[in-house]
């Protein structure tokens, strides 16, 4: 950043300044003051109701400027938090860009008016879009660092390729880049913080964790969040770290710590932890008043440590700047902030017509014909040497993963128990695990432990790291072991993975695949191994949700999921994994099915059942019985993908039959069928001869005893009964 002052004093050689010369000290001071002035200007605009939210970096400037100066924008990677104005200013985000975000302008490059101010994003500077969630970003930094290491060890993986997401995911890497992530001391209580520390430490990743400790999390003091009141003391035993606990109001001390931290990371020795003690003079945000919970004495003691006042005094004392020069500098920065604010207020507002832009990839449409590829002729060899005969869903998912990994070196697979054996030496003597359902069997053995590996037992870790991998251009295909345990990752899925593209106005995207075994009908799965709940995910804009009912569809849809440019939740029904229903020959390495294309699995004229997953074979059974015993011809539609779904196929069928049932395995109320039924009632009312009916599970969880499980989940008898009743209208 340019300096505003000319005619400087001689370079300062004082050891107390770590060899920083006068120019550099003034540069630090300038950035600190500009950050504060921008906060002050934003506060003024908020009070004038020209902006809508304000949260400041006040009191954190020294630590943040030091972090920014120690690292290289556009080379290193940054996962800041919402208080990091001074950091981002130092990295090169302009005052005007900041003000454009504050007013929510169309020209706000970070989010196009979608995010609150100070929710940073810049592709050029490598600042990855941040959310408001405390601590979710630290896992992204871990995945990003892993991706950087991966590309430096597999440079061929960085090559662009046409025909899949790689055409739109640029890759840069250097081999010694660092990922910086910042968070507050309160946020260190989040599980994601510990999940990130775990992997960064274990894998010796080049991640700098910067804890900006201002002593409060809104109104909650540090000792309530952190036992003993000091996070440094608690993390001290993590292996491979460089640790520094510093006065976060002293930029010289902070810069020394960050330089050492970066050196440690770049040398490949492991991560670093810089814990800076700051102050928070402006309350948590403009929506908070700290006078309600902090004593006057405490606030006065804080004020004495104000980093800007201290730096000002330091420059004066050292004779680097005179009173007059400081005044002039501060006035010019005030003007700079005011002018940035004024310019932003002139900027155009976002257009309503563009609200849905960047929910999904505009570059690559997974519903398009590019993903409509016929199965190859069954060959005697097939994949994996299992012959040309019918193969299970497990076989064909495994075959797809294998084929895609051969084709695309950017794919990594990780999750709980997915490796053949983490202790590689055992592989000479044992067969290998390859997943609790064996979906990933043999993949570590073929592709190596840096492409297929076990994660810690931590679901947010799995998905959060995938976000970091994916923003760097890789394709993580991760596994959540059971749908029942996806909930710790829900925050990452809903608030990060699925939102990355929309909230950054297309600046970033995280097109990862999450494979998840789901569902019941497995006799004894009980509450925690039988859950459904897909509608909770189809309700998330930005996420694709796929739910195949047979081996061939699973193979073709997984290929589309992997090659496409959107995040995908790929649901695999456990009961269908090894069923004789729906087996198919190996369809070759290019077979693909577009998303949003349902399949009429049984044509009929009297009534339509719209369904998916394990209810497909159960509906077919009921439909057959309906024909045999009642002469009713039922049309059965397998949706195959739940978001997007094939409305046209539903509408065509309902127009023909005028009677429709939506059948699904999840609990009846608030389920996936509610949306489909409501839309049919809304748009096809004139075509209906009977009310729209739903069939689902009872509104409970699935019980252990099979007698109870059978009663709770939808069965062919119940589907048949509904078919017969609906035909009577």
Ligand X SMILES: Cc1ncc(C[n+]2csc(CCOP(=O)(O)OP(=O)(O)O)c2C)c(N)n1
Instruction: List contacts with Mg ion (CB under 5 A).
Output: 184-186, 214, 217
Q: How far is the CB of 534 from ligand X (least distance, A)?
A: 24
Residue 50: other Cβ atoms inside 10 A: 14
**Residues numbered 653-682 forming contacts with ligand X, rule: CB under 6 A:** none
Query: What x-and-dash track marks residues 43-82 binding ligand X by CB under 6 A?
Result: ----------------------------------------
The distance of closest approach from Cβ of residue 211 to Mg ion in the complex, given in angstroms and rounded to an integer, is: 9
Residue with tokens 């229903």: 581
- Cα dihedral 63→69→74→76 (10° resolution): -70
Among this protein's residues, is 529 annotated catalytic? Answer: yes
Is residue 336 within 8 A of residue 95, CB to CB? The reply is yes
Q: Which is nearer to Mg ion, 226 or 608 (CB)?
A: 226
CA 317, 319, 322, 326 dihedral sign is negative
Q: Which does 303 bind (CB under 5 to 8 A by kind): Mg ion, ligand X, none?
A: none
Closest CA to 590 of 383, 387, 415, 373: 373
Stretch that binds ligand X, among 19-27, 126-134, 244-252, 379-387 (CB under 6 A): 126-134
Angle at 450 between CA 473 and CA 77, to 5 degrees: 40
Please pick, among 140, 264, 275, 529, the residue that the annotation labels catalytic: 529
- The conformation of residue 412, written as its DSSP 8-state character, comes to E
The nearer residue to ligand X, 94 or 132, going by C-beta atoms, is 132
The residue (of 139 and 654) whose beta carbon lies closer to ligand X is 139
CB atoms within 10 A of CB 225: 18
Q: Which stretch binds ligand X (CB under 6 A): 179-187, 333-341, 388-396, 608-616?
A: 179-187
With CB under 6 A as the contact rule, which of the stretches 178-186, 353-361, 475-483, 653-661 interacts with ligand X? 178-186
User: Considering beta carbons, is residue 87 or 338 the nearer one to ligand X?
Assistant: 87
Helix axis angle for 61-70 and 251-266, nearest 10°, is 40
Shortest Cβ distance from residue 641 to ligand X (Å)? 30
Q: How far is the CB of 288 from ligand X (least distance, A)?
A: 9
Q: By C-beta, is 289 or 424 nearer to ligand X?
A: 289
Closest residue to ligand X, based on beta-carbon distance: 184
Nearer to ligand X, 169 or 284 (CB): 284
Cβ closest to ligand X, residue 134 vs residue 619: 134
Among 119, 126, 169, 284, binds ligand X (CB under 6 A): 284
Order the strands of the 475-479 sheet from edge to edge: 452-454, 411-415, 475-479, 513-518, 568-573, 544-546, 641-643
User: Which residue number places its CB atom closest to Mg ion?
Assistant: 184
Q: What residues are paired with 278 via a beta bridge?
A: none
- Among ligand X, Mg ion, none, partner that 284 touches (CB below 5 to 8 angstroms by kind): ligand X
Of 211 and 584, which CB lies nearer to Mg ion in the complex structure?
A: 211
HEC profile for 86-130?
Answer: HHHHHHCCCHHHHHHHHHCCCCCCCCCCCCCCCCCCECCCCECCC
Q: Which of 54, 64, 134, 181: binder of ligand X (CB under 6 A)?
A: 134
Q: Per DSSP, what are the bridge partners of residue 127? A: 78, 122
Member of 187, 244, 393, 569 binding ligand X (CB under 6 A): 187
| Partner whose footprint covers residue 585, from Mg ion, ligand X, none (CB < 5 to 8 Å by kind) | none
Distance from C-alpha of 705 to C-alpha of 712, rounded to nearest angstrom: 11
The CB-of-405 to ligand X minimum distance in angstroms stands at 34
Kindly indicate which of the ranges 106-114, 185-193, 249-257, 342-350 contains the residues binding ligand X, using the contact rule CB under 6 A. 185-193
Residue 108 binds which entry of ligand X, Mg ion, none, CB below 5-8 Å type-dependent: none
Candidate list 185, 306, 325, 646; residue touching ligand X; CB under 6 A? 185
| CA nearest neighbour of 264 among 197, 204, 202, 212 | 204
- Looking at residues 478 to 537 of the shown chain, list those that interact with ligand X (rule: CB under 6 A): none
Interface mask toward ligand X for 203-232; x: CB under 6 A: ---------x-x-xxx--------------
Secondary structure percentages of the chain, helix, strand, coil, to 5: 45, 15, 45
DSSP notation for 304-345 = TT-HHHHHHHHHHHTTSS-HHHHHHHHHHHHHHHHHHHHHHH
Closer to ligand X by CB, 228 or 348: give it.
228
Token pair in block for residue 602: 């049984």
Q: Residue from 43, 106, 133, 161 that binds ligand X (CB under 6 A)? A: 133
Stretch that binds ligand X, among 177-185, 461-469, 541-549, 639-647 (CB under 6 A): 177-185
Spatial neighbors of 452 by CB under 8 A, at least 6 apart, are 412, 413, 414, 418, 419, 420, 440, 443, 444
Q: Which does 684 bind (CB under 5 to 8 A by kind): ligand X, Mg ion, none?
A: none
Cβ count near 715 (within 10 Å):
17
Beta bridge partners of 469: none
- The binding site for ligand X (CB under 6 A) comprises 83, 132-134, 183-187, 212, 214, 216-218, 284
Q: Which residues are catalytic?
A: 529
């Amino acid at each position: 950043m340019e300096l505003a002052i000319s005619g400087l004093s001689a370079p300062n050689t004082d050891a107390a300044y770590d060899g920083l010369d006068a120019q550099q000290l003034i540069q630090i001071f300038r950035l600190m003051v500009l950050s504060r002035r921008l906060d002050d200007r934003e506060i003024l605009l908020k009070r004038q109701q020209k902006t809508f939210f304000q949260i400041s970096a006040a009191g954190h400037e020294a630590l943040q400027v030091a972090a920014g100066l120690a690292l290289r924008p556009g080379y290193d990677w940054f996962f800041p938090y919402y208080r990091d104005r001074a950091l981002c200013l130092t990295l090169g985000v302009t005052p005007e860009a900041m003000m454009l975000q504050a007013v929510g302008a169309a020209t706000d490059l970070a989010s196009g008016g979608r995010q609150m101010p100070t929710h940073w994003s810049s592709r050029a500077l490598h600042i990855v879009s941040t959310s408001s969630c405390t601590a979710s970003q630290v896992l992204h930094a871990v995945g990003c660092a892993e991706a950087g290491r991966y590309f430096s060890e597999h440079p061929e993986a960085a090559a662009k390729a046409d025909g899949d997401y790689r055409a739109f995911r640029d890759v840069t890497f250097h081999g010694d880049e660092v990922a910086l992530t910042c968070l507050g001391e309160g946020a260190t209580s989040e599980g994601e913080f510990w999940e990130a520390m775990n992997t960064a430490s274990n894998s010796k990743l080049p991640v700098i964790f910067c804890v900006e400790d201002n002593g409060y999390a809104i109104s909650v003091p540090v000792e309530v969040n952190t036992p003993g009141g000091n996070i440094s003391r608690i993390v001290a035993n993590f292996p491979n770290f460089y640790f520094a606990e510093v006065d976060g109001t002293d930029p010289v001390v902070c810069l020394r710590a960050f330089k050492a931290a970066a050196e440690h990371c770049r040398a490949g020795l492991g991560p670093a932890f810089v814990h800076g003690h700051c102050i928070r003079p402006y309350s948590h945000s403009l929506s908070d008043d700290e006078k309600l919970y902090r004593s006057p004495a405490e606030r006065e003691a804080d004020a004495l440590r104000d980093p800007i006042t201290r730096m000002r005094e330091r420059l004066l004392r050292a004779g680097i700047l005179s009173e007059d020069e400081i005044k002039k500098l501060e006035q010019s920065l005030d003007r700079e902030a005011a002018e940035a604010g004024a310019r932003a207020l002139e900027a155009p507002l976002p257009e309503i017509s563009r609200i849905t832009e960047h929910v999904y990839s505009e570059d690559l449409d997974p519903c398009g014909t590019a993903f409509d590829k016929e199965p190859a002729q069954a060959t005697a060899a097939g994949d994996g040497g299992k012959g040309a005969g019918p193969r299970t869903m497990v076989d064909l998912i495994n075959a797809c993963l294998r084929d895609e990994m051969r084709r695309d070196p950017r794919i990594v697979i990780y999750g709980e128990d997915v490796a053949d054996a983490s202790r590689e030496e055992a592989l000479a003597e044992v067969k290998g695990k390859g997943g609790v359902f064996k979906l990933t069997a043999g993949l570590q053995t073929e592709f190596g432990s840096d492409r297929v590996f076990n994660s810690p037992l931590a679901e947010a870790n799995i998905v959060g790291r995938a976000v970091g991998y994916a923003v760097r251009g890789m394709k993580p295909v991760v596994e959540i072991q059971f749908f029942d345990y996806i909930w710790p990752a829900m925050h990452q899925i809903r608030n990060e993975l699925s939102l990355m593209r929309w909230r950054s106005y297309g600046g970033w995207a995280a097109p990862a695949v999450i494979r998840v075994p789901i569902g019941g009908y497995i006799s004894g799965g009980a509450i925690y191994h039988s859950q459904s709940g897909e509608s909770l995910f189809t309700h998330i804009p930005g996420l694709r949700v796929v739910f195949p009912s047979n081996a061939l569809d699973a193979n073709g849809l997984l290929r589309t999921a992997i090659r496409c440019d959107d995040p995908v939740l790929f649901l695999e029904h456990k009961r269908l994994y090894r069923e004789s229903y729906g087996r198919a020959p190996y369809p070759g390495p290019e077979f693909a099915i577009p998303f949003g294309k349902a399949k009429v699995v049984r044509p009929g004229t009297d009534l339509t059942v719209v369904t998916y997953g394990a209810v497909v074979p159960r509906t077919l059974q009921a439909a057959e019985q309906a024909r045999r015993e009642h002469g009713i011809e039922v049309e059965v539609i397998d949706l195959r993908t739940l978001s997007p779904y094939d409305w046209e196929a539903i509408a065509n069928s309902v127009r023909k039959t005028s009677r429709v049932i939506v059948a699904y395995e999840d609990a009846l109320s608030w389920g996936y069928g509610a949306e489909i039924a409501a839309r049919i009632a809304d748009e096809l009312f004139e075509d209906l001869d009977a009310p729209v009916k739903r069939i689902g599970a009872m509104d409970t969880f699935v019980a252990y005893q099979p007698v109870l499980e059978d009663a709770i989940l939808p069965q062919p008898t119940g589907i048949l009964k509904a078919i017969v009743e609906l035909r009577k209208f």
